[in-house]
Homo-oligomer: A and B are copies of this chain.
Amino acid sequence: MSTSDHPSQALATFAAELSFERIPDAVMRRAEDLMLDWLGSVLAARSARPVRSIQRFAEMMGPAEGPSEVLISRRTTSPLFAALVNAAASHYVEQDDVHNGSVFHPAAVVFAPALAVAQAVGASGKQLLTAVVAGYEVGIRVGEFLGRSHYRTFHTTSTAGTLAAAAAVGRLLDLTPAQMPHAFGSAGTQSAGVWEFLRDAADSKQLHCAHASAAGLMSAYLAQDGFTGAARVLEGAQGLGVGMSSDADPAKLADGLGTRWTLAETSFKFHASCRHTHPAADALLQVMQQNRLKAGDIARVVTHVHQGAIDVLGRVVVPATVHQAKFSMGTVLGLIAVHGRAGLTEFDRDFLAPEVAAFRDKVMMELDGDVDAAYPARWIGKVSVTTTDGRTLTGRVDEPKGDPGNTLSRAEIEDKMQRLTQYGGSATAEEAKAACARIWSLAGEARVGRLLG
């Protein structure tokens, strides 16, 4: 049977047979980067109300101790519940990674189940990282397979997430190429998650990540035990493509397996604001750094943007809440100008601070033909800055900070992780530093231990 006859089998075989040696070094290093970035996101959400609810449910229903680490509580439990709680925390502060093509947040549904199971089965660091790559490569391709029509109603991180989790856990459990499709079948038939919660700003995003991680984990364990699933749960006549998409493309499932590493296409989030503000924020930073400007030196900023930015950001002028502030171009640039960064802490503390508010009112958005034509393939940042002493300076960034072509350095990732950890009050700076060191040396560990404490 060829790949084109049964692409999900090709994908399952790839995940089952993936070995550390086959993965390019640069991809493996990026996997470590993403793991540290994920850890920061989890630790930032320690006190978040919806995450705490899922934590309490896990404590009520699950064992009080076990082999796997619940990062936000420092307790242990069985892999299922560690995956559930850590996943619920992964996406809360919305600082985790994103794969643009699949509109999928892989870290949120891959690292939590993979870490929990690695700790339970005594996996090595190489085995964990290999499993993570398997999860990314599967989840992103499933997201691309489900397509844009799917994303209109379904939260792809949630739906494709069950398969991403199943692939990562399945790799750790050493599922064979014959067993892995059963894990996919069970995971796919638990794929769920719709966008309707956005209307009410309800807590479902946290549930989606938790559900996908737990359901995928369960599917892999069941497959190991001989429990069978549909061989074509994705591309079959009564599968997810037919049921939940109108433009599903089975060819995406096996696209470039072993040569195209989609994990390395994933973007980091650098600023804590809406992604549409990031290009302009980067361009403003560039102008200010190159010209050694301070906020007080600036009289006016015009951001030259794509239409989508105006559509999404245009409505918020004076933000009433922190959440709205993240969609206010003026506020974001104000935080950048005053503090040099627009992170979670700066938003919480200063989104209405007088100096930030004063800068906010100096910012305008203008539609730019070139920037708009390049979108969405490229998110170009372009600003014109007028200084108080009458100069006009321009800045331009062709890839926003965090995209694959302008990725974060390890120092920047550590710095972001430290800030997220402090934000959540989840660990001391020393503990966070030790966790960083542990992840940078993970590939040499014979056995994945606890990340904290």
A230 within 8 A of B: yes
Compute how far the CA of A198 lies from the CA of B203 in the bound complex, rounded to whole angstroms: 34
Q: Are B203 and A238 in contact (CB under 8 A)?
A: no
Compute how far the CA of A38 lies from the CA of B356 in the bound complex, rounded to whole angstroms: 64
Q: Are B200 and A230 in contact (CB under 8 A)?
A: yes
Q: Are B189 and A208 in contact (CB under 8 A)?
A: yes
**What is the 8 Å Cβ interface bit string for chain A, positions 190-216, against chain B (1 contact, 0 not)?**
111111111110111001100100010
Partner of A190, one of B49, B211, B222, B229: B211
A54 within 8 A of B: yes
A318 within 8 A of B: no
Q: A53-B225, A225-B53 are in contact. Are A194 and B62 (CB under 8 A)?
A: no
CB neighbours (8 Å) of A218 from chain B are 57
Q: Are B189 and A189 in contact (CB under 8 A)?
A: no
Compute how far the CA of A243 lies from the CA of B225 in the bound complex, rounded to whole angstroms: 33
A66 closest partner in B (C-beta): B61
Which residues 298-355 of A have a CB within 8 angstroms of B? none
CB neighbours (8 Å) of A229 from chain B are 197, 200, 202-204, 207
Compute how far the CA of A331 lies from the CA of B62 in the bound complex, rounded to whole angstroms: 47
Q: Are A207 and B194 in contact (CB under 8 A)?
A: no
State the main secondary structure of chain A at its contact with B: helix
Interface centre among A53, A202, A240 (most CB of B within 10 A): A202
Which residues 11-66 of A have a CB within 8 angstroms of B? 49-50, 53-54, 56-57, 60-64
A242 within 8 A of B: yes
A190 closest partner in B (C-beta): B192
Q: Which A residues are closer than 8 A to B by beta carbons? A: 49-50, 53-54, 56-57, 60-64, 78-81, 152-154, 158, 182, 185-186, 188-200, 202-204, 207-208, 211, 215, 218, 221-222, 225-233, 236-240, 242-244
A and B contact pairs by CB, cutoff 8 A, 21 listed:
A49-B226, A53-B225, A56-B225, A57-B222, A57-B225, A61-B81, A62-B80, A154-B243, A185-B196, A185-B202, A189-B208, A190-B211, A194-B233, A199-B230, A199-B232, A199-B236, A200-B228, A202-B229, A207-B222, A207-B227, A244-B244
Report, nearest first, the 5 A-B pairs whose CB atoms are least far apart: A153-B243, A196-B230, A192-B192, A61-B80, A195-B238
